[in-house]
Amino acid sequence: MDKELRIIISGGGTGGHIFPAVSIANAIKRKRPDAKILFVGAEGRMEMQRVPAAGYEIKGLPIKGFNRSHILKNFAVLWDLAKSLRLARRIIKDFKPMAAVGVGGYASGATLYECAKMHIPCLIQEQNSYAGVTNKLLANKVQKICVAYEGMERFFPAGHIIMTGNPVRQNVLDSPMTKEQARESFGLAPDKKTILIVGGSLGARTMNESIQQHLDIVRDSGVQFIWQTGKYYNAKIMEFMKGKELPNLKILDFVSDMGAAYKAADLVISRAGASSISEFQLIGKPVILVPSPNVAEDHQRKNAMALVNRHAALYVEDAEAPDKLLALAVKTVADDKELAALSTNVKEMGLKLRNADDVIADEVLKLVKGAE
């Protein structure tokens, strides 16, 4: 066994950054059980809870994004950035990593910037078809850039790019349940068509409104629904639903076993985050995508159109969702021919992207070996 391996993994802010980061860490540990892995995230963001829950230590930086609406408030943001860079430097000196991995998000920029200055080999993983600001800024400071979409040389140096796909949550791929068992685990009938509505870990307002405004469609559809409201919206929605409960509507704030939820569903309604899309591609799940308009460079729309243009997904504009989404979903889930076509096409897009976590872990280990 080689000398003890130490790796820093940095980034977060959303599940779309955190789940791939944890998958990469798990893959490194499978290959090198002796590895010590330290996460660096942003204070107050969801990684500070999700990463320890996955069994890893995490340090937080007081870093925040720039406020585009109130320019004067950015003096505090710049102060926090300077403080975060100093703290990241101290963390790196104490931990002495042999390589660093960045998955996007504010903390990733500060941490990998300092690692690169200290000549620690770095790898970044870009989940989206349109590169994030942090990764674009880091592109010329790192040795390897792992991507999930073709054509990323318009953002990054071509010689640094490796096509790996996006790591996904293992329980999504490995669920042992049958479709019937999965439905029963949510308290639903095992033999009825089921639609899963998931707006991300925090929720999606317009997707929630699509259901709240059309409970009559839910009631009369003959279809079952699993509705993940997101933690942010759940209390208000549960208050709204008092006296309106429907036996074919299962409401949850957060779905911990997404493998079971996907297995239960004939059709998924989802945002167009890169990690979610990778999961649909790998399991061949028919999906209606509702891209979030509140993301940098409108990247979710670009992610979605990569599928829509190959009839691998359907698409509804966020602003149109309350009027159109539920009716389209009920119509689609009743059309077995359309479901089969969507499933076949989306799965074909994922054939080359399996085992991304293992491929990225191997690239990290090559960086370490090359630096020794």
pLDDT at 349: 85
Q: Which single residue is written with the structure tokens 């406020």?
A: 67
Region 288-295 average pLDDT: 89
pLDDT digits (tens, 9 = 90+) for 81-100: 899 999 999 999 999 999 99
Percent of the chain with pLDDT over 90: 69
Q: Is the pLDDT of residue 1 over 50?
A: no
Region 326-355 average pLDDT: 91
Which tops the pLDDT comparison, 296 or 270?
A: 270
pLDDT at 104: 87
Confidence of residue 310 (pLDDT cuts 50, 70, 90): very high
pLDDT digits (tens, 9 = 90+) for 118-147: 999 999 999 888 888 889 999 999 999 999
Tokens coding 285: 């799940």
Which tops the pLDDT comparison, 72 or 154?
A: 154
pLDDT at 28: 97
**pTM score, two decimals?**
0.79
pLDDT at 111: 96
pLDDT at 88: 96
Q: Is the pLDDT of residue 69 over 80?
A: no
What is the rounded distance in angstroms from the CA atom of residue 223 to the CA atom of residue 299?
32
pLDDT digits (tens, 9 = 90+) for 203-233: 588 999 999 999 999 999 999 999 999 888 9
pLDDT at 90: 97
